[in-house]
Structure formats: C-alpha cells, structure tokens
Amino acid sequence: MDHSDSRRKPHFLGKVLMAAILTALCIFILKQSPGFIGDSALKTLCCRNAEFYNYGNISIFLNIWMDHSDSRRKPHFLGKVLMAAILTALCIFILKQSPGFIGDSAFSRHEPGVTHVLVTGGAGYIGSHAALRLLKDSYRVTIVDNLSRGNIGAVKVLRELFPEPGRLQFIYADLAVAYVGESTLEPLRYYHNITANTLVILEAMAAHGVKTLIYSSTCATYGEPEKMPITEETPQFPINPYGKAKKMAEDMILDFSKNSDMAVMILRYFNVIGSDPEGRLGEAPRPELREHGRISGACFDAALGIIPGLKVKGTDYPTADGTCIRDYIDVTDLVDAHVKALDKASPNKVGIYNVGTGKGRSVKEFVEACKKATGANIKVDYLDRRPGDYAEVYSDPSKINRELNWTAQYTDLQECLSIAWRWQKSHRNGYGSPSVMKVKGTDYPTADGTCIRDYIDVTDLVDAHVKALDKASPNKVGIYNVGTGKGRSVKEFVEACKKATGANIKVDYLDRRPGDYAEVYSDPSKINRELNWTAQYTDLQECLSIAWRWQKSHRNGYGSPSVMKV
C-alpha cells in the first residue's frame, strides 16, 4: 500500500552509495594532503557527504571500529556477556590547541577555553552517550562514524538538543576502507580495524599536534586472570583476537606516548548496560545485528517478544548460583569516567583505569533484574556451558576511584535496566522514522472522503486458486475477479487496524496523490456462481488481528531467531 516508502528506498540507497564513493575519494585526497584538518579543498569535496545528512563540515577522518558479530564464531571467544561490554569501540581525543583546527567555519574557529573533542564511533551506543555528556559539558564535539553500527538517528537527537552552530558536527567517514584489503582473513580484521586504525589515529595526532587521547579499551585484554577482582596490575594475557588487538593498541599508545608529551588515558570497560536516564538516547542495534547483540539487548528483545526467550549457557560454574559472574557498568557512569579522565589528563602522563562497579552479578541475577525491570515473564532456557567462557570477571575500581574521584552511581541492576527499558519500549523502531500512517487524500467523493478499496484475505485468495484448479478443464478459459465485493474506505481500514493491534496509531492525513482513484471494488458473482467461491474472511478487523498475531511474534520477519547465548 505504501508507495511513498518504496519510492524513497532506492533513492536513499543511491545516496548511501554516493556517500561511499565520495568517502573513498576523500580518503584518497586525505592521503595526498598532509594538512588535512581544515583543508578547504577536502572540506568542499567531503561536505557533500555531510550535507546528505545536513550535519556540518568535514574536518578530520578517523574511525575506530570493532566488530563483534564475527566473534561468536570463534571457539575461544569471550562469553557473550563479556562481549556486551564493548559493543562500540570508542575513542575520544581532544583537538585542544590543534593548530590545524583553526579554519574558516563557525565550527573550527578556535576560541580560548573551548575544547574540541572528536568522538569516533559517536553515532553508536556508547559513542552517542559520550557525545551527549560532552555537549552538555560545553565541549565542541565532532562525531565520526561510518554508520555501519551507528545510528544517524542518534546524531539527529543530539543535533536537536544542541542546534547552535559550531557545537556538534557529524562526519560520515570510514578510514578502514583505505586500509583493509577485501581478502583479509577473519582474525586479521581485528588487527586492521582496531590496531591499525589506532595507529592511524596516533599518526594523525602526531601530525596535527593533538595532545590528548582517551582510549577505550576493554577488560578482554586481561584474558582469563586467576585472581579476582581484576586490578590494573592484573597481568594481561588476552585469549582472543579482540582482546589481543586491543592490547596491541594499548601497547602502541604507551610506546608512542613515551616519546611525546601526550596526555593519555586508557579506560578498560567491563560490561556496559543502561541508557540515558532522561530517555534521549538508547541502544538500537540494527535488526540484522540483534542476534549478535549484548545481554541487555537480548533481555529487551525477549520482553518485546522479538525472541522467544533467553538462553543461559552454563549452570554448573563454581559460583554461588552456578551461572557466570560479570561486572555490569552503566553507560552513564562509563561516560562520566571518560569526562573525569579528560579533566585529569595531563601532558607526559599515562593513566590506565578499570571502569566497572567492582561488584559481580550472576547471569541469573541479571535475568531476574531483567524480568522485574520489564515486567515481562521471560522464558529462560538453561543450557550446557559454552567452551571458552570463564566463571567470574569483575573489576577492582579503587584506582579510578582514588585518582579520578570516580565511582559508579548506577549500581542497581534493575534500575539501570528499567531506565533502558523505558527507552526500548517507546522506541521499538529504534531510531527509525516514527511509524506514522500516511493517508493521502481526504476529499474524494466517498462517504468519508478517503479512497475505497476491496481487501481480500490471503486465505480466501488461496482458496479461490484451489477451487480454480479443481474446476480447470481442457479447452476452457475461466477469468475471475477475486475480491469481497465490498469496498472499505482507508479510514475504515485505519480504524480496524487500530482495533486489531490495540495500538494508538498516529495518522497523518495528507493531500491526494496524483493517479489514485476514489473507488475500486469487485463484483465477485461470476467466481461465486462458477467456482462456488465466496470470501469467508470479510471482517477487516479480524483479518488484521490474525496478521497482527504473526507480526508480533515475528518482529524479525523470517530472519534467524535472535537468541541470546550466555
């Protein structure tokens, strides 16, 4: 029915393609041009990318990414729960006193006391929360993201909250394409995306006199420590490519910082959950990424009925209730740690900190908190252990507490999940365009002014086919209309739809669309007479109710069922 959408899609894809091509071009130029920050030629060229989203000017290209989705295929990978900590590789560095940043646009003008922060992956879950906090604290923020994991919707929210020119700019860019060969082997992609991109960032920082780096690392760099809790002195023996790539990136940063006066802060995250307490941002993985998602995402998907339930792998670990223990850190606290790290960063100093609550919670506890937070009776399957998972991981956050005066505030698991659930409930479509039904034309010569159509249920339609098959005979041609014979107006349809779904559907009544006609309905008497066929499902609301039942339990369509694995 909705022609407008189908028309827009190819257009959008076209634009994305164009953006990708332009990005490739930009990166080419970037490699040619040493002073790429504030380079006006680059700006002119690349602004077209940015203009596509209308989010400002280009000034720098950097992007660090990690990709979890590949990780679960590997036998030695960390548990899903641990993976949850690190959805978005996030790297913040400050363009404070960066000479290259002084340009001609409102954004790049350097004002004393104003700090520019570049957030890579800033359209993602953690990155967008970091950008929100930085903007609130009067930083100027440049978000760089290639939108493969991030949501332009999150950038739009930030844009609306901070519309003043020069506060926030978004750059669509993907440095990785310049580095990653298409034939790169699976584990090597981690080293490309994480380690190689970190190298690129360091080089760019050196070239442009950027002096401060807040680097997002992970507790995965510790591997499988023998002693809990994990302190910053716990030996790092990462056991999977992700952890190893992050460890190598850390080493590179540390080596680089030795020969410079850089200020470096490395934050090692534990399992990140939650969302903005004011409900402005949330976590919205793309449908195709959901099944690789984090434990909190699985909890919400189960509560929404998108997945049938939760699967807990391993109930015989040497823990109090037999399930794994992890350290869940709220994203608001995590972002606060970044800002505190930023405040305390000083030249020639390196700070390395664990960011966790210091308290381990079992997966069972998590599931219970999830049930309470969502109010949903979530089905939980307890399965066998998965190889490579370890029983217990939690942090000792006393160093960050002591040195940065940071303590986790959101330590009530159920409360964190309730906050995130509020956003999830009211953003079932993620950052997608709000679902508004568009009714085009209310001034047709019909009873209620909207168009009239003949809606035939697919079960009746199929029945007509079978009856036609039965009656088909050699040397005969039968031609039949298959409709109910009753016309219903679009307004009637909308009302039936509201009743069938129980949802308060928002409807925009717009002008007519050219080419639509007022009334179309069939006379089915010939098929009735000759094939003894009559439509049985003629109650519009009932038809829609039946269809709605399927929709509700198949939000992922026929896509692979998204099942959380713990």
Ligand X SMILES: *[C@@H]1O[C@H](CO)[C@@H](O)[C@H](O)[C@H]1NC(C)=O
The footprint of ligand X (CB under 6 A) covers 56-57, 65-67, 70, 104-107, 146, 148, 165-166, 169, 174, 176-177, 180, 189-190, 192-193, 405, 532
* Cβ at position 205, least distance to ligand X in Å: 19
Give whichever of 75 and 514 is closer to ligand X, judged by the CB atom: 75
* Cβ at position 187, least distance to ligand X in Å: 8
Question: Cis omega before residue 347 (within 30°)?
Answer: no
Give whichever of 346 and 405 is closer to ligand X, judged by the CB atom: 405
Give whichever of 50 and 324 is closer to ligand X, judged by the CB atom: 50
Tell me the residue nearest to ligand X as measured from the CB: 67
Q: Which residues contact 140 (CB under 8 A, 6 or more apart)?
A: 107, 114, 115, 116, 117, 166, 167, 168
Q: Where are the alpha helices (DSSP H) in 109-196?
A: 125-136, 152-161, 186-190
* Cβ at position 30, least distance to ligand X in Å: 15
Write the single-letter amino acid at 265. Answer: M
Q: Which residues of 74-85 are buried (b: 16+ CB within 10 A; e: fewer)?
A: eeebbbbbbbbb
The three-class DSSP label of residue 461 is: helix
Q: Where are the alpha helices (DSSP H) in 74-142?
A: 80-83, 125-136
Give whichever of 192 and 499 is closer to ligand X, judged by the CB atom: 192
CB-side neighbour CA atoms (13 Å) of 165:
6
CB atoms within 10 A of CB 333: 21
End-to-end CA distance of the chain: 41
* Cβ at position 72, least distance to ligand X in Å: 12
Closest CA to 121 of 194, 190, 179, 59: 194
* Cβ at position 69, least distance to ligand X in Å: 7
Asked if 139 and 115 count as a contact pair (C-beta separation under 8 A), the reply is yes
CB-side neighbour CA atoms (13 Å) of 493:
17
Q: Distance between CA 482 and CA 473 in Å, rounded?
A: 19
Which entry of 172, 242, 317, 480 is annotated as an active-site residue?
242
Inter-CA distances, 390 with 195, 234, 237, 316, 319, Å? 25, 16, 14, 11, 11
Give whichever of 49 and 489 is closer to ligand X, judged by the CB atom: 49
* Cβ at position 549, least distance to ligand X in Å: 25
Q: Which residues contact 225 (CB under 8 A, 6 or more apart)?
A: 234, 235, 237
Asked if 428 and 287 count as a contact pair (C-beta separation under 8 A), the reply is no
Catalytic annotation present for 242:
yes
Give whichever of 166 and 309 is closer to ligand X, judged by the CB atom: 166
Give whichever of 322 and 430 is closer to ligand X, judged by the CB atom: 430
* Cβ at position 64, least distance to ligand X in Å: 8
Asked if 429 and 480 count as a contact pair (C-beta separation under 8 A), the reply is no
Give whichever of 386 and 471 is closer to ligand X, judged by the CB atom: 471
Indicate the pairing of strand 168-172 with strand 310-313. Answer: unpaired
* Cβ at position 213, least distance to ligand X in Å: 19
Active-site positions read: 242
